[in-house]
Amino acid sequence: MVAAPWKTVAVWAFVLFALVLIVAPFLWIVSVSLKYQIQIFMAEFPFDPTWTNYDRVLFAKSSDFLRNLQNSLIVAIVSTAFVLVVGTLAAYSLAWRRWSRLFSAVFLTWTLVFNIIPPITLVGPWYLIFRELGLFNTLTALTMTHIVINLPMTIWLMMSAFGNIPRDLESAAIIDGCRRMTAFRVILLPLAAPGLIASGLLAFIFSWSEFGIALNLTAKETMTIPVAIAAYAGQYEIQHGEMAAASVLSAVPAIVLMFVGQKFIVRGLTAGSMK
């Protein structure tokens, strides 16, 4: 089938226009992050790039950015590890073992309901609970909430990953005298690896980006990067260049994953619509 050449040109023009619209804001913020305040106000272009803003964000005495980075990494890595273990086990149990209809319906409906309600509505009670437990303003509390907000997504993605594995594989192993736990670890888990990677990448990026909960459960020492960036905006004299530099730095994991984990992330994000 040969398409009319004008049609191909029109399609490409439309797609390129959309690409520019999507990418341009990010390139613009990168350019702002490389300018002195005065150059920003003059909207100078072209300009002599400077690393001052990055230097100040990362290494100035008044800046807590490296500590924020450490907090963000701890929370994102630990919560991702936990949610993968907890979510994968639950998904295995629900997808492969026989549960009463009522139990799985209640369990899955509840994860759905919890996933659709705005998380900010639960932050009030979380605040009170963690205060009473003495966990307010700790990374433990924040990590726990991040595990639980990523749990529904992990359970569904892993259930669909386990659902694609033929049943016979496990029953053959069981007949050979293999324990269920061993069959799970040796046979099912490797086959579900793509789903595991997709859930892991998404859980990491969501935890890394999460703002509403971290804003209310952390204080100066436990602040994560998103909260720190929002704090920049509230300063008396806003340093636009530093704000831009901090935003660009916060997007680094996203950009790495965009190129490295693209296939898994697209699969994870679109999984819901393919059922």
Partner 1 sequence: MADQLNHNKSWLEGLWDLLDRHFKLLAVLPAAILLLALTVYPLLELFHMSTLKISFSNAEMVREPAFWDNLTKLFDDWIYRRALVNTLIFVAVSTSVEMVLGFALALAVSELVRGRGLVRTAMLLPILIPPVAIGNIWRLMYNPEFGVINSLLAMVGLPALDLLGSTQTALLAVIIVDVWHWTPLVFLILLAGLEALPDELMEASSIDGASYIQKLVYIIIPLMWPAIMVAFIFRSIVAFKVFDQIFLLTSGGPGTSSEVVSLYVYKVFFQQNQLGYGAMLAIITIAIVCVYLGTFALMQRRMARAK
Least distance CB 60 / partner 1 (angstroms): 19
| Whether 196 contacts 155, CB under 8 Å | no
Least distance CB 55 / partner 1 (angstroms): 19
CB-nearer residue toward partner 1: 61 or 125: 125
Distance (Å) of CA 84 to CA 12, 81, 151, 254: 40, 5, 8, 19
CA 180 to chain centre: 32
CB-nearer residue toward partner 1: 1 or 175: 1
Q: Take residue 179 and report the two structure tokens written for it.
A: 């324990």
| Whether 196 contacts 87, CB under 8 Å | no
Least distance CB 141 / partner 1 (angstroms): 10
Distance CA 221, CA 164 (A): 45
CB-nearer residue toward partner 1: 222 or 250: 250
Least distance CB 62 / partner 1 (angstroms): 19
Least distance CB 251 / partner 1 (angstroms): 5
CB-nearer residue toward partner 1: 61 or 265: 265
Distance CA 200, CA 84 (A): 7
| CA nearest neighbour of 203 among 125, 108, 86, 96 | 86
CB-nearer residue toward partner 1: 8 or 164: 8
Least distance CB 168 / partner 1 (angstroms): 19
CB-nearer residue toward partner 1: 161 or 243: 243
CB-nearer residue toward partner 1: 61 or 254: 254
Least distance CB 245 / partner 1 (angstroms): 11
| Whether 135 contacts 141, CB under 8 Å | yes
Please enumerate in sequence order all residues whose Cβ is within 8 A of that of 227, keeping only pairs 6 or more positions apart, or say none.
68, 211, 214, 215, 218
String of DSSP letters for 99-125:
--HHHHHHHHHHHHHHHHS-THHHHHH
Distance CA 237, CA 218 (A): 24
